[in-house]
């Protein structure tokens, strides 16, 4: 597979007008370190780019670019006493969520052609991690995958469920075969 080097600093956000782009990758503020852009904006006409940040306490947090420099922690600084950690399961599901956004919004992601590249989108409600977590909950097992019931539809509460990895793989391969049969190249 060929990878082309892009001259633009933010190629996959170029089609997201209305929000000022700023590369804060690697920058630190308070307890937060900016890791990477999530490739999506907050809902609404004045949507702001979301960045994935890690707090010194280990918690991951999404920060809107307009809040960068104002927020000093994942929230643990505001709490009394020792930081409340949400546990490993929430950290794991955060990465699943982040990956889902990247597959759909970041052309540099290796899976993008099979997702964002063919119109698979994440619903607006799920651009916020808390909503996604509230709808999906913890994966039932360590090998559970996010499965879209209809492979041609996007990520939303009606179309997504947890499925054991083996079943998910089987289904994905069957879907891919079916798609190939439909669209011979």
Least separation in angstroms between residue 84's CB and Zn ion is: 9
Least separation in angstroms between residue 99's CB and Zn ion is: 22
Among residues 61 and 148, whose Cβ is nearest to Zn ion?
Answer: 61
Among residues 85 and 156, whose Cβ is nearest to Zn ion?
Answer: 85
Cα–Cα distance for residue pair 97/113, rounded to 1 Å: 18
- Binding of Zn ion by 105 (CB under 5 A): no
Cα–Cα distance for residue pair 76/34, rounded to 1 Å: 17
- Binding of Zn ion by 57 (CB under 5 A): yes
Q: Which of the stretches 15-23, 48-56, 158-166, 170-178 binds Zn ion when contact is defined by CB under 5 A?
A: 48-56
| Of 13, 40, 52, 55, the one binding Zn ion by CB under 5 A | 55
Q: Is there a contact between 38 and 103 (Cβ–Cβ < 8 Å)?
A: no
| Of 13, 52, 53, 59, the one binding Zn ion by CB under 5 A | 59
Rg of the Cα atoms in the chain? 18
> In this structure, is the dihedral angle defined by the CA atoms of residues 67, 73, 75 and 80, taken in order, positive or negative?
negative
Least separation in angstroms between residue 168's CB and Zn ion is: 32
Site for Zn ion in 60-79 (CB under 5 A): 73-74, 76
Q: Is there a contact between 122 and 109 (Cβ–Cβ < 8 Å)?
A: no
Nearest to 155 by CA among 131, 175, 178, 183: 131
Cβ burial of 131 (10 Å; 0-12, 13-18, 19+) is: middle
Phi-psi region of 43 (alpha: psi -120 to 50; beta: other; left: phi over 0): beta
Site for Zn ion in 152-181 (CB under 5 A): none
Among residues 61 and 109, whose Cβ is nearest to Zn ion?
Answer: 61
Question: How many amino acids of this chain bind Zn ion (CB under 5 A)?
Answer: 6
Q: Which residues bind Zn ion (CB under 5 A)?
A: 55, 57, 59, 73-74, 76
């Amino acid at each position: 597979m060929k990878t082309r080097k892009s001259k633009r600093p933010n190629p996959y956000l170029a089609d997201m007008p209305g929000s000022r782009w700023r590369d804060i990758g690697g920058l630190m503020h308070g307890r937060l370190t900016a890791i990477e852009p999530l490739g999506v904006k907050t809902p609404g006409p004045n949507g702001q780019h979301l960045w994935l940040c890690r707090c010194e306490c280990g918690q991951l947090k999404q920060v809107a670019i307009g809040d960068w420099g104002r927020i000093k922690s994942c929230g643990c600084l505001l709490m009394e006493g020792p930081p409340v950690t949400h546990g490993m399961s929430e950290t794991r599901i955060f990465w699943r969520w982040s990956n889902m956004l990247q597959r759909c919004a970041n052309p540099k992601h290796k899976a993008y052609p099979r997702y964002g590249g063919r119109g698979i989108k994440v619903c607006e409600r799920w651009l916020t991690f808390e909503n996604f977590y509230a709808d999906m909950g913890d994966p039932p097992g360590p090998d559970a995958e996010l499965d879209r019931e209809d492979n041609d539809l996007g990520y939303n509460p009606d179309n997504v469920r947890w499925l054991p990895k083996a079943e998910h793989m089987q289904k994905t391969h069957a879907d891919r075969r079916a798609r190939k049969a439909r669209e011979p190249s």
